[in-house]
Amino acid sequence: MRKGMKTAQVNMSILGGRLIDPFNNRDEVVDIHVANGTIVALGAAPAGFEAEQVLSAQRSVVCPGFTDLSARLGEPGFEQKGTITSETTAAVKGGVTHLCCPPDTFPVVDSQAVVRLILDHTAQFGRCLVSPIGALTKGLAGEQLSEMASLKEAGCVALSNAWQPVKSNQVLRRCMEYAATFDLTLFVNAHDASLAEGGCAHEGTVATRLGLPSIPETAETIAVVSHILLAEQTGIRLHFSQISSRTSAKLIAEAQQRGLAVTADVAIHQLLLSEEDIDHYNSLGHCMPPLRTKADQQGLREAVSAGVVQAICSDHRPHEKAAKSKPFAETEPGISGLETLLPLSLRLVDEGLLDLFTMVQRLTTGPVGVLGLARKGLAVGEKADLTVFDPEKRWQVSEETLISSGKNTPFLGEFMKGAVLATVRNGTLVYED
């Protein structure tokens, strides 16, 4: 599909693709021309433009590169699970040009040094833009404020305490006030640690039958309520990460109707799997938050369709084999999801939940809006960060076809419809099928 093998910034033309660009509300077949990393024309090439690289995108979709609000890279501290090199390579294969990594690394992202480490490694080895999410509290211990302003200065796009509890509502309130002072967004994995204590599966029929220690829905919904009320008091921008219950979606919708600055994302697997998928102790379905009921899945789907949930993310968590090769409760939660984000999202289109344009919104303008970034999409003068995908191309998920170090996905062996043909970042071809 291409001419020329150069991977540096070269003049590039992407021809004949269906441009879907929610930033500019465009959906039409149009050529794109890129020079010096920047889009120079849509439609006819500018006079004298010579493409050194030509991508033929006929019967394919060209859209802004996906922004993934949660993908763990393994680095620093868990390199046996993945590295910035391996996981950003998986990201661009999945069409993701920008990802946010949670702060629960080792050491945690609570100092400028760790932020710089991640950004330096990304500059050296990374294929896509990586934005660290800073720790809300020192060491994620939930007791003292982190140096939030310094973290922002170093490049953190938001703050989060990941899955670690904040010690008290008083500490949480102070965190919110301080973060709001510096116009930071708080990412929340809504989780009441005492209700969830020791649990590894949704508290419902399947966990009861399998005798697994369980996590009730209220572990999430109570935390959603308390965060909304404190956000209302403190004026912080709140973003709920990876919600798993339909009640959470309703509570968030109500807060949005009251005019609060509250957004949410959902992991793609929560829209396709349910508690049934951990049956027979399938540790590949062990994730956090746990897979809940079909009714929850339906409620989350409606929230994605209605825009209550603005973004779909991969919640990518690569693991080494041994992490999943134990009795269920001892296995580590998480799914390797970057490479299946697009084809699984396309299932929502096939099933009639979303149209293709809305799906692209949930992967582009939705998450970019959550981060409050001033991007203009695929417009003349903008950096060329884009993805070309064939929505019909079939492929099989296997340990061989996955590039990520993490082969831990319950979709292993399944056929996917939809594959990325090319990913361009800053005008450079960073992935090609």
Partner 1 sequence: MSTTADRQLQLNSQGQLRHFLNINGLDRALLTEILDTADSFASVGEQAVKKVPLLRGKVVANLFFEASTRTRTTFELAAKRLSADVLNINISTSATSKGESLKDMLQNLEAMACDMFVVRHSQSGAPHFIAEHVCPGVAIINAGDGRHAHPTQAMLDMYTIRRHKGQFEGLNVAIVGDVLHSRVARSEIKALNTLGVNEVRVVAPKTLLPTNVESLGVKVFHTMREGLADADVVIMLRLQRERMQTALLPSEKEFYQRYGLSRESLQFAKPDALVMHPGPINRGVEIESEVADGAQSVILNQVNYGIAVRMAVLSMAMSGQVAEKNILQAKR
Which residue, 215 or 363, has its beta carbon nearer to partner 1?
215
- Per DSSP, 222 falls in state H
Asked if 326 interacts with partner 1 (CB under 8 A), we say yes
Stretch that binds partner 1, among 74-82, 233-241, 323-331, 386-394 (CB under 8 A): 323-331
Q: Which tokens belong to 100?
A: 């946010």
Binding residue (CB under 8 A) for partner 1 from 47, 48, 211, 352:
211
Which residue, 259 or 327, has its beta carbon nearer to partner 1?
327
Q: Which of 21, 31, 192, 315 is catalytic?
A: 315
Asked if 412 interacts with partner 1 (CB under 8 A), we say no
Cα distance between residue 365 and residue 22, in whole Å: 6
Asked if 216 interacts with partner 1 (CB under 8 A), we say yes
Binding track, positions 263-302, relative to partner 1; x by CB under 8 A: -------------x--xxx---------------------
Asked if 23 interacts with partner 1 (CB under 8 A), we say no
Name which of residues 186 to 205 contact partner 1 (CB under 8 A): 203-205
Q: Which of 377, 340, 394, 412 is closest to 30 using CA atoms?
A: 377
Binding residue (CB under 8 A) for partner 1 from 5, 106, 209, 374:
209
315: annotated active-site residue: yes
Asked if 330 interacts with partner 1 (CB under 8 A), we say yes
Asked if 143 interacts with partner 1 (CB under 8 A), we say no
Which residue, 297 or 314, has its beta carbon nearer to partner 1?
297
Closest distance of CB 217 from partner 1, Å: 10
Q: Are 188 and 230 in contact (CB under 8 A)?
A: no
Binding residue (CB under 8 A) for partner 1 from 76, 139, 155, 213:
213
Which residue, 330 or 414, has its beta carbon nearer to partner 1?
330
Closest distance of CB 410 from partner 1, Å: 14
Binding residue (CB under 8 A) for partner 1 from 58, 325, 396, 398:
325
Closest distance of CB 197 from partner 1, Å: 10
Instruction: Map residue 363 onto helix, strand or coil.
Output: helix
Closest distance of CB 191 from partner 1, Å: 18
Asked if 328 interacts with partner 1 (CB under 8 A), we say yes
Binding residue (CB under 8 A) for partner 1 from 40, 69, 99, 212:
212
Q: Are 109 and 156 in contact (CB under 8 A)?
A: yes
Which residue, 207 or 360, has its beta carbon nearer to partner 1?
207
Q: Applying CB under 8 A, which residues contact partner 1?
A: 203-205, 207-214, 216, 276, 279-281, 322, 325-330
State the catalytic residues.
Answer: 315
